[in-house]
Amino acid sequence: MKTINIGICGLGTVGAGVVNVMQRNAEAIAARSGRPLAITHIGARRDNPDCDTGLAKVSRDIFAVVNDPEVDIVVELIGGYEPALELVMQAINNGKHVVTANKALIAVHGNEIFAAAEAKAVSVCFEAAVAGGIPIIKSLREGLAANSVEWLAGIINGTGNYILTEMRDKGRDFADVLVDAQALGYAEADPTFDVEGIDAAHKLVILASLAFGMPLNFDACFTEGISAIAPQDVVFAGELGYRIKHLGIARKTEQGVELRVHPTLIPQRRLIANVDGVMNAVLVKGDAVGPTLYYGPGAGAEPTASSVIADIVDLLRTIDASPAARAPHLGFASDFLKALPAIPVSEISAAYYLRISAADKPGVLSHITQILSDSGISIEALLQKEASHDIDAVKSANSHANLLNVPIVLITDITLESRLTAAVSGIEALDTVEGKVTFIRVESLG
Instruction: Give catalytic residues, as residue numbers.
Output: 203
Contact call for residue 58 and ligand NAP (CB under 6 A): no
Q: Which is nearer to ligand NAP, 11 or 261 (CB)?
A: 11
Mind giving me the DSSP string for 46-80? Answer: S--TT---TT-EEESSTHHHHT-TT--EEEE-S-S
Query: Residue 187: CA atoms inside 13 Å, Cβ hemisphere, count?
Result: 25
Spatial neighbors of 149 by CB under 8 A, at least 6 apart, are 140, 211, 212, 252, 284, 285, 286, 287
Binding mask 75-94 for ligand NAP (x = CB under 6 A): --xxx---x-----------
Which has the closest alpha carbon to 248: 281, 215, 296, 294? 281
Question: 246 vs 355, which CB is nearer to ligand NAP?
Answer: 246
Q: Does 232 bind ligand NAP (CB under 6 A)?
A: no
- Binding to ligand NAP by residue 211, rule CB under 6 A? no
How many of the chain's residues bind ligand NAP (CB under 6 A)?
Answer: 22
Is the Cβ of residue 204 or residue 371 nearer to ligand NAP in the bound state? 204
Residue 135 backbone dihedrals phi, psi, to 5 degrees: -80, 60
Contact in structure between 285 and 152 (CB atoms under 8 Å): yes
Q: Which stretch binds ligand NAP (CB under 6 A): 10-18, 135-143, 203-211, 262-270?
A: 10-18
272 binds ligand NAP (CB under 6 A): no
Of 40-48, 166-174, 333-341, 423-431: span binding ligand NAP (CB under 6 A): 40-48
**Of 2 and 46, which has the nearer Cβ to ligand NAP?**
46
Q: Of all helices (H) and strands (E), which one includes residue 281?
A: strand 279-286
C-beta atoms surrounding 392 within 10 Å: 9
Q: Which CB, 286 or 303, lies closer to ligand NAP?
A: 303
Q: Nearest to ligand NAP by Cβ — which residue?
A: 12
Question: Is 365 strand, coil or helix?
Answer: helix
Three-state SS at 190:
coil
Among 4, 6, 8, 14, binds ligand NAP (CB under 6 A): 14
Least distance (Å) from ligand NAP to the CB of residue 256? Answer: 29
* Residue 300 CA from chain centroid, whole number: 15
Residue 72 vs 194, nearer CB to ligand NAP: 194
Using the rule CB under 6 A, is 62 a contact of ligand NAP?
yes
- Containing H/E element for 119? helix 103-119
Binds ligand NAP by CB under 6 A, chosen from 4, 11, 136, 411: 11
- Rounded to whole angstroms, the Cα distance separating 350 from 105 reads 31
By CB under 6 A, name the one of 37, 96, 97, 132 that touches ligand NAP: 132
- Taking CB under 6 A as the criterion, which residues in 91-130 touch ligand NAP? 101-103, 128
* 154 sits in which H/E element: strand 149-155
Q: Which residues sit at the interface with ligand NAP, rule CB under 6 A?
A: 10-15, 44-46, 62, 77-79, 83, 101-103, 128, 132, 299-300, 304
